[in-house]
Structure 1
Amino acid sequence: MSKISNLLEIIMIIQYKGLTTASELAQTLGVDKKTVYRYISSLNKANVPVYTKKGRYGGFYIDKNFYMKSANLSARELSALLMASEVLTKQNGFIYEKELKNAVYKIKSVSINSDINLSEMDDTGGFSIDSIGNLKKLEDKISQISYSMSKGKSLNVNYFSVNKNNLTMRKVDPYDLVFKQGNWYVVGYCHMKDDIEIFKLDRIKSLKISDDIYMRPHTFSLKDYLNQHWGVFMGDKIKVLIKFSRNISHFIKSTKWNTNQRIDDLEDGSIILSLYIDDIEDVKKWVMGFGKDAEIIEPEELRKNIKLELEELYKKY
């Protein structure tokens, strides 16, 4: 990521969180603390009012009178911008595809207070399921999450799951707020999954700070966690978990099947392969080719599709 992108990200993070430390910024940006201090110095030289609060609960904060306001764009202008980012690609000869998409992400992120929001539109200008979280303003969510982290209190979250296409109530112990590719995420321990999860803020329909107290584990490293789960920030890709038996685990582990794959070993010698894909059909036939040595764990939709196909095969034979 370029220095300009990092500087913009620092401004957004400090504005929304209110107070953040050099360590938190370093972990989020993937740089060292000395680099963070150089970035803060650059912002000050550019007359961006970032200040330092010293002490145990100190950190960086920004003058409340300074704010990166959103552009006053109409619905047609927003729709045109979104459409342009889909049409202008390297395949079509546009060499700045990545830069254009990043610009759209940033406009989307600072347009949250507008009457019209990019995240509320699909490619035709209609309403998209991704906008379900916009029923509650982004600033309110970030404010409540930041407060719960500072007080060590758990959150009760009503969260929309794309894979299961429904809303579920989750109890979450928030560890960190992360800003990636124009979207905000909260990383924390999910009591329902009994694991650390990443939640996209625009999929949170509602949240409430509970009276339950939690402690963030001293062994948790945001940098290490994000390095292992970077595929989550690749847009609306589908997470697929596949269990392979010990009979073919060595073969699966010896091959790079996907750029964002992860493999976890199980006690019985079998393994779990996790991937992020665009379409479940991409992986369906591949998995079925392994027969009884492969089992889809999630998403449920893919399990059902394979089950239906096997039932049809059973009828034929």
Structure 2
Amino acid sequence: MARGDQLSRQWKIIQTLVASTHGKTVPDLADRLGCTPRTVYRDLEALQAGGFPITTETRDNRSYWHILNAGRQQVPLAFSIPELMALYFGKDMLKTYRGTVFYDAIDSLLSKIEATLPSAYIDYLDRVRDRVDAGPAPRKDYTRSGPVIAELNRAIIDEKQIRMVYFSMGRQKESRRTVHPYRLRHVEDTLYLIGYCTLRKGVRTFAVDRIKSVTVRDEGFLIPEEFDLQAFLQDSFGIYQGPPVTVKIRFLPSVAGYVRERIWHPSQHLSDQADGTLIFTATVAGVEEISHWVLRWGAGAQVLEPAALRRTVADHAAAMAAHYADSPGDEDPDAV
């Protein structure tokens, strides 16, 4: 039998026992897993040998198998098995924030938990995690932003104003600002600060990795009662702000299936067409951010409305085409 099949079956046994209030008999488990009772007995013995808190009790002349609460295994908190698994896997999901308080905190917590568990238990967790791997992906390096993030957290919790030096990618220059920090928000592997900027006299978003320095001031601030973060962000197609605009985009059959797979925006409406195309409609904040999303689909997407978005996408597409008008690959390699 393949090792992966055995691991999958044992994981299903753990999930079944955790979800069961009164326990399960071996025949019940065998029927659920589609295997023989003898195989289930072997798996249960292997899990017990690995340190899992599995036990039996007899009721009405039948043996019922249970998995004890992880808290009885001297884990610092009474974590259930699924909660412990989620924490263990979550460490990989936070690789983006390595070197910051977010990653360091979960790393420290897991180290304390691991110190209380049998080595066989940890080996089992490692084997399962190898099959649910977050994997490497393009991401920002927040190692150098660790001190900045720690200060931002402190300012947000204590409701203190900050002075910061911020590099604007659009203007390609640094500026000094006083900000009332409201919230940190994670969007597509980027961490943003949302707060009131006294320089711009309004609520703005700042990419944390472009905050060059931050100083927490003694002066406090209060978030206005009328400010609603969800309302502030509801139209954005990610993080950027702008006037609400309704967009309508046609997707060809070659890419329509991929668009259907995800919820891209809370206001989206998908309409399947008789010719296999898909019409995507949503109300978003401005056209610049969604224009980049449209371009990622190449010729598989066509903007129908509004005219401003059509022009923006057309201008980007024309500029891209101009880059390849005299492509080096089209030249005769033997030409003098």
What TM-score, normalized to structure 1?
0.39
More contact order relative to length (CA 8 Å, sep ≥ 6): 1
Structure number with greater Rg is: 2
